[in-house]
Copies of this chain bind each other. A is one copy, B any other.
């Protein structure tokens, strides 16, 4: 109803008025959308590769390259035993103390020397798995690693594990990122898929 004692808006100022009123009333919804957006995962998959077993590292690489192929961003955090997968085959020895040198001597440099998680029998199981993959014309773990890196899988070496094991970035293959638990959690908290392998 027209109330002659109140000012009546013109079309221009009315449009502004309507716009502002709509904006105001949508405020709560926009706020909620912003809140949901903050907690909605990005198109990302993040793995901790804790294991240094050939079979598990292989599984992580198959998942990682598959995910990149489906358009997901992929972060792989290699920590503890998993760091072996990133070691240069002819790693220089930076290990400072006795225990670090022992660990280095007992863990492989790169994927070549890795055993499998079960029935390894001092390397027989790993050799068998490699033969079985080859017989089925399935990409080797070294090729998978190369493929993953070329296809844009981010590979991050865990700095805390490097400190414990006495590894420096010179012991690891080139082109890696280094990061701690904060970097991991930053990626993981924005991921659709999070795995600990």
Residues of A within 8 A of B (CB): 1-3, 6-15, 17-19, 21-23, 25-26, 29-30, 32-33, 36-37, 39-43, 45, 48, 50, 52, 55-56, 59, 62-63, 66-67, 69-70, 72, 79-81, 96-97, 99-100, 102-103, 106-107, 117-119, 128-129, 131-133, 135-136, 138, 160, 163-166, 180-182, 184-186, 188-197
Give complex CA distance A9, B186 in Å. 52
Q: Are A79 and B99 within 8 A (Cβ)?
A: no
Contact of A81 among B62, B118, B190 (CB under 8 A): B118
Minimum C-beta distance from A149 to chain B (A) = 18
Known: A33-B36, A40-B36, A67-B185. A48 touches B195 (CB 8 A): yes
Q: Which of A39, A129, A133 is most buried by chain B, counting CB atoms within 10 A of its CB? A: A39
Q: Are B99 and A132 within 8 A (Cβ)?
A: yes
Known: A26-B25, A196-B195. A63 touches B17 (CB 8 A): no
User: Can you sample 22 A-B contacts with CB below 8 Å?
Assistant: A1-B9, A1-B10, A2-B10, A6-B10, A11-B17, A18-B21, A21-B22, A36-B37, A39-B192, A40-B40, A45-B189, A48-B63, A50-B55, A50-B56, A55-B81, A66-B181, A81-B118, A99-B128, A106-B119, A132-B164, A136-B163, A185-B193
Minimum C-beta distance from A8 to chain B (A) = 4
Chain B residue nearest to A66 in the complex (CB): B181
- In the A-B complex, list the 7 residue pairs whose CB atoms are closest, starting with the nearest: A66-B181, A6-B10, A195-B196, A3-B10, A18-B21, A2-B7, A2-B8
Q: Are B193 and A188 within 8 A (Cβ)?
A: yes
Give complex CA distance A97, B81 in Å. 32
